[in-house]
Amino acid sequence: MSPGGRLPLLLVAVTALAMTPLACTGLGEGLTYYRTPSELRPAGGEHVRLGGLVVPGTAHPDGRELHFSLTDGTKTIDVVHTGYRPPVFREGQGVVAEGVLGADGRFRSDRLMVKHSEEYRAADGSR
C-alpha cells in the first residue's frame, strides 16, 4: 500500500477510536434499569425502580393512593402508589414503579410507568 493510501485508513481508525467512548456513554444514558421483586433488597431509603406484572385482583384505589401487588413470577411485593395514575394502567400488565421500599415491606411509589407499545412510559411521555 502506498503512503498516500495509509493516511485515510489511519484517519478512519483514529476517528473510530475517539468515537467509541462517546457511543458507549450515549448508550448508557438511554437504558433504563429496574429491579424485580426477587432482586429488591432493603436499601435504607434508596430510591429505585421496581418492575413486574400487576397481580390480577390486587389493584384498588384508596383515596389518593393506589394499592396493588407486583410479581416477577417468583416473588410478590405490595405497592402503594401516590401520584398520577396512568389511564392505561390495568391488572396483568407490566409496570415500573419508582420509589422506596418501606420498613413495613411495602414499596412506596411516587412515579408509575406502564408498558404500552413495548415501551415503559410515564404519564408525561418520559422513560
- Residue stretches of the annotated binding site: 116, 120
Dihedral pair phi/psi, residue 117, rounded to 5°: 55, 45
Q: Could you say which DSSP state residue 35 is in?
A: B
CA distance 111 to 50: 11
Annotated binding site for heme: 116, 120
Please, which residues bridge with residue 119 across strands? 116
**E strands along 7-93, which residues?**
48-54, 60-62, 65-71, 76-82
In total, the chain counts a number of residues equal to 127
